[in-house]
Structure 1
Amino acid sequence: MRYLIRTIRADEWELCREIRLAALQDPVAKIAFLDTYEDAVTRSDSFWRERAEGASEGASESGGSVRQFVAEAPDGSWAGTITLLVERPSDEPRFGAPAKTDQTHIVGVYVRPEARGTGVIDALFRAGVEWSWALPEPVIGRVRLYVHEDNARAATFYRRFGFVETGERVAVPGDADALEVEYEVLRPAGDAA
């Protein structure tokens, strides 16, 4: 099956909610997300509208700091998603160490089980990393993400895609005995926006 990789539109908040709730019901959700299905399902429609609006293509064009990509099937359903947050050294850190350079942070990675192994995740990551390098302002120096130390499947993909461990470790909120491991990919040398 062929998928269209694109950014979300602001009016697609119901699809954003649906795929997020599906992600939070995945068997690895407990180690893959810092959110729970029980919390997410109680959020209001206005929460999901604002979330979609803030991560949509129009928001980013006007200086927004979030972009959500989806893999859309021919029938209009979404097979997977990733979200990128722009982080600047002057920003309060959302998670992990403060930014030392302008960077994007990949979060909310999810591919439906039936689409796994089809290349959807590779296409989503290519789109997100290419978007990061193409931003005219700020010029992004690296793309980072965190993965739970027990999420071997995800860590294997990130390494295969070209991400490397930075050595940074962060305690998982609510579980001081577990760690999130930071990975990064640096802007290619000589690649200017």
Structure 2
Amino acid sequence: MNQHLIRPVRAEEWQKIKELRIAALRDPVAHLAFLERLEDAEGRSDEFWQKRAAGAAGGRRARQFVAEAADGSWDGSVVVLVEEPGAADFFEGVIDRHQGHLVGVFVRAEQRGTGLIDELFRAAVEWAWSLEEPALERVRLYVHEDNTRAAAFYRRFGFVPSGRVVSLESDPDAKELEYVLERPAS
């Protein structure tokens, strides 16, 4: 069993958020998991990271969850973005429903296979389902077609492929597959 505290970030933790993101972008599979480049993240100003932290620490628009070890270090993270109807879709088109979008999924290599990602996803999805007025209809995420380990976890957690496939602007031959988790019936 994991000995991590799974919790939302606090706005003043922007430096730890930056450090974890840069660690994620240094990971050998980062090219399959993230649309951001390491060089871009390293070049961002402190003000950028402060705003990102503040935006992910409270309110309804976004929430970042971290896995904090007993020594205070962070071993993983996931972000829930809330998407509203009429807003521009990240890849193409317009959002047509109230939904959550999981991004920035990362667990340090030494913690993979320990169940830590399950704990992070449970916290993120529970938070998404807790939102009211309006309630979110589903949670979605995208996974690169070659990121089979991540796709296997998403399916095991209950996400299913929606059939939507998008190409990346940076590499039109690469495909991102949308997976969705519908809100459970009450």
Give TM-score, length-normalised by structure 2.
Answer: 0.96
What is the Cα deviation at residue 8 of structure 1? 0.1
What is the Cα deviation at residue 189 of structure 1? 1.3
Q: Does 1:19 align with 2:15?
A: no
1:164 and 1:96 mapped to 2: Cα distance? Answer: 20
The one-letter amino acid paired with 1:19 is L
1:104 and 1:71 mapped to 2: Cα distance? Answer: 20
* Residues 5-16 of structure 1 aligned to structure 2 (within 5 Å): 5-16=6-17
Contact 1:141 1:187 in 2 (8 A): yes
Aligned to 2:81: 85
Q: Does 1:149 align with 2:149?
A: no
Q: Does 1:44 align with 2:40?
A: no
Instruction: List structure 1 segments (4+ residues) > 2 angstroms apart after TM superposition.
Output: 94-100
SS of the residue 1:12 aligns to: helix
* Residues 161-172 of structure 1 aligned to structure 2 (within 5 Å): 161-172=157-168
Gaps of 5+ in 2: none
Give TM-score, length-normalised by structure 1.
Answer: 0.93
Query: How many percent of aligned residue pairs carry the same amino acid?
Result: 57
SS of the residue 2:185 aligns to: coil
Aligned to 1:54: 55
RMSD: 1.0
Change (3 A) 1:127 1:96: farther
SS of the residue 2:173 aligns to: strand
Change (3 A) 1:107 1:96: farther
Q: How far does the alpha carbon of each residue in 1:93-144 deviate from its partner, in whole angstroms, 9 at most, with x for none? A: 2235532210000000000011111111000000011001100133100000
SS of the residue 1:70 aligns to: strand
